Structure 1
Amino acid sequence: MMNLTSPASVRQDCRLIGQTLLKLALPRLILRAIVIAVALIVWYLVASWILDFGKRMNYDFLHTLGQPTMDMAQKVNPYIWWVVAGIWSLIVFFLVRAWFYASLASGAATPVGTDVLAGLAPNLSEESLGVLRWTWGDRQEPFTVGDLRRSLSELRHNRIGKIDMVAEQARILESGANRPTRDPRDDGRPPVRGETRGDRYVEPRIGPAR
């Protein structure tokens, strides 16, 4: 079993990766904060306008239906416009949420610059670099921010120890596979007269065995 990196070294590697992720994500974080702030302002202004419009709503145009109908409409009027404001709030919420998740997915799929990776790799331990290589997988696509984020999470959850355990278990199983195979017909019992045992033949005998 290999000599694993010390916990202090792993924490240092996690700190370096976290700092790199923050630098890479900072522009998107600022953009998300601005978009969400603008969406909240627009939501508040429109919701306030809806409620103010409802307060000024006059139902005199229902005079042909009688005074009781006008009174009923005036009584439920505040609830009607609160429902409208609630529908507007749901529309804004789902639009912002959909945009936010799309932004997260786009950010995770962003490739890490070669210069950024070249500056980070020499400062990491070999075991932590092994976790980054493990996260990268089959390497059909460039190493992304999402890969780096997952590497940080895996380091914090002892992926180094798991990789070492996998290697040790593979060595155990491979060494077992290299042992000579036993004839499946050999059950450990002594041969009986007339019975073949692999390539060995025991001649049948008449009379007591000598």
Structure 2
Amino acid sequence: MMNLTSPASVRQDCRLIGQTLLKLALPRLLVRAIVIAVALVLWYLVARWILDFGRTMNYDFLHSLGQPTMDMVQKVNPYLWWAVAAIWSLIVFFSVRAWLSASLASGSATPVGTDVLAGLAPNLSEESLGVLRWTWGDRQEPFTVGDLRRSLSEIRHNRIGKIAMVADQARILEGSAGRPPQEPRDDVRREPRGEHYVEPRIGPAR
């Protein structure tokens, strides 16, 4: 069985990978924070302007429709502009969420620099490097930030132990396949030899 990395070594590997991820993601995190902050300020200013505009709205131009109509419009006026502010809030929310999802996807697909990987790999245990190789898969694309993030999650969830178990099971099954086949058991039950009845001959003795 493979010698698994000690818990202290696993924690050290996780810390190194986490620090590398933070360095790689820091520029994007700053951009996201700035964009979200600007969106919140813009949302607040526009929403406040909408509500202030609604409070000062004059419906005297509806006098031709009669006083009851004007009274009804004045009564529903606050709710009307609150609804407009709610619609504006939904527009901002879904726009920011769509942009954030696209930014996260783009960040995950960003390749990890060869120099960054070369600086990280020598400091990791062989078992943790095995998890990184396992995460990379078929290796038709460069190793990405998303692969590194998944590697960190897999290491924290005992992927090292699972890889070791797979290796042990493969050795067991491959070793069983290399043994010569056993002779099939003779399960055919032999019937007991029966006694043959011979009918006595009746006739004069010779």
Question: Fold match, TM over 0.5?
Answer: yes
1:106 paired with 2:106, answer yes
Q: Output the amino acid matched with 2:121.
A: A
Larger relative contact order, structure 1 or 2 (CA cutoff 8 Å, min sep 6): 2
**DSSP 3-state at the match of 1:140:** coil
Q: State, as a whole percentage, how many aligned pairs show the same letter.
A: 82
Aligned to 1:74: 74
The 5-angstrom pairing of residues 87-166 of structure 1 reads: 87-166=87-166
Gaps (5+ residues) in structure 2? Answer: 197-206
Aligned to 1:201: none
Q: What is the CA-CA distance between 1:181 and the residue it aligns to?
A: 2.7
Residue by residue, what CA displacement relative to the aligned partner does 1:48-95 show, whole Å, maximum 9, x if unpaired?
110011001111111111001000000100000000000000000000
Count of aligned pairs between the two proteins: 192
Q: What is the CA-CA distance between 1:105 and the residue it aligns to?
A: 0.3
Return the alpha-carbon distance in structure 2 between the equivalents of residues 39 and 140 of structure 1.
38
Return the alpha-carbon distance in structure 1 between the equivalents of residues 113 and 187 of structure 2.
67
Q: Output the amino acid matched with 2:47.
A: A
Q: What is the CA-CA distance between 1:179 and the residue it aligns to?
A: 2.4
Q: Considering only aligned residues, what root-mean-square deviation do their CA atoms show, in Å?
A: 1.5
Look at both structures and tell me which one has the larger radius of gyration over its CA atoms.
2
Q: Output the amino acid matched with 1:60.
A: D
Aligned to 1:22: 22
1:189 paired residue among 187, 190, 200: 187
Residue by residue, what CA displacement relative to the aligned partner does 1:13-47 show, whole Å, maximum 9, x if unpaired?
00000000000000000000000000001100100
> Which has the larger displacement, 143-152 or 172-181?
172-181
Q: Output the amino acid matched with 2:187.
A: R
Aligned to 1:168: 168
Aligned to 1:202: none
Aligned to 2:52: 52
Q: Output the amino acid matched with 2:60.
A: D
Residue by residue, what CA displacement relative to the aligned partner does 1:108-127 show, whole Å, maximum 9, x if unpaired?
00000000000000000000
Report the TM-score when normalising by structure 2. Answer: 0.90
Return the alpha-carbon distance in structure 1 between the equivalents of residues 12 and 54 of structure 2.
59
